[in-house]
Structure 1
């Protein structure tokens, strides 16, 4: 795996509940040998602010507590060609930053493959 850049935007209700997850994911990314050469950026923002931030990120991860907003959020993400998915409820609840980071990497790689195929 050779990622030059991995910018992940976590969206949730108010942006606060995901702050702990951002910290955990950053710690894991910084200690990862595979991500050492990757420009990793992880931020959390309220879903209502998605349009303000979407262009600056590679993938959008949605907090499970707002999965009911996925359709509206997907419309915005799709306008910018950004892959989007809901964070696994169990991973979110147990603050499993490693699994969420892995899901974000897969989402980015799958999004790039789709983009290349047109």
Structure 2
């Protein structure tokens, strides 16, 4: 399956800490030859606003500090049939936008079970 669009929503408590990650992920995407023709949108928003934004995105990634809210966030994501995962805390702490972007791509391409 070819990747033609990847819209990633990062959620955290207030949307601030993931804002830095959005910048890093966008840098990686812009400098990637294999993603040059892919429609990429990456945004960060507070977890409390998930319902307001989720329809515009393909995947939802949760900041590790919000892991305790994963069950509630997963219920919302399920209503919209969107995959959701917690961001790897090591990658998050290291601000490794490349690994997190790769995880988002794998989420999008993962076949539904």
- State if a TM-score over 0.5 links the two structures: yes
Tell me the equivalent position of 1:30. 30
CA distance in 1, matches of 2:18, 2:109: 23
TM-score when normalising by structure 1: 0.93
Tell me the equivalent position of 2:16. 16
Q: Unpaired runs of 5+ in structure 2?
A: none
CA distance in 1, matches of 2:68, 2:109: 25
Tell me the equivalent position of 1:41. 41
SS class of match (1:41): strand
Q: Unpaired runs of 5+ in structure 1?
A: none
Q: How many residues align?
A: 113
Residue pairs, 1:78-97, within 5 angstroms: 78-97=78-97
Tell me the equivalent position of 2:107. 107
- Which aligned runs of 4 or more in structure 1 are off by greater than 2 angstroms? none
